[in-house]
Amino acid sequence: GLELSHCVGTNSLGPAGPWRSGGPCKMKRVRTVFKPEQLERLEQEFLKQQYMVGTERVDLAATLHLTETQVKVWFQNRRIKWRKQSMEQKAAKLSQFGVIQPASADSTDSKDHEEDTVDVEL
């Protein structure tokens, strides 16, 4: 199961909402701290395959003295990191060859969006 710390503190930020218990004690999940040997093995397995499922995940978790959920979440987080690194490498290669990156979707510059918009009368 998940390890939960007990009372985190009563100095909550803002009023109690539907997502807060409203009580004096708020439960918070303790972050898993992996041992260097566990991380080394997890990285080795990730190099072989980015998705660990079924009995392979169960066996790896048992070998590393972790829960299956901890291994699953580690692989999920590692895939996100891998994708981010891949995107950064692609961006670096494109900029190296002088290719301009398109504006990001979360850009707040309205001029860029106006040029892309086409008004069509129906």
pTM equals 0.58
pLDDT over 60 at 114, yes or no: no
Domains and CATH numbers, the chain: 34-94 (1.10.10.60)
Q: Name residue 73's amino acid.
A: V
Query: How many angstroms separate the first and last alpha carbons of the chain?
Result: 59
**Phi and psi based region of residue 72 (left: phi greater than 0; alpha: psi -120 to 50; beta: remaining):** alpha
The per-residue pLDDT for 16 is 47
Q: Which tokens belong to 103?
A: 């504006």
CA dist 122 to 18, 97, 114, 116, 117, Å?
46, 42, 20, 19, 16
pLDDT over 60 at 28, yes or no: yes
Spatial contact of 27 and 8, defined as CB atoms under 8 Å apart: yes
Phi and psi (nearest 5°) for 113? -75, -30
The model's confidence at residue 12, banded by pLDDT at 50, 70 and 90, is: very low
CA dist 6 to 10, 64, 94, Å?
12, 26, 49
Write the pLDDT tens digit of every residue in 49-102.
999 889 999 999 999 999 999 999 999 999 999 999 999 998 988 888 876 655
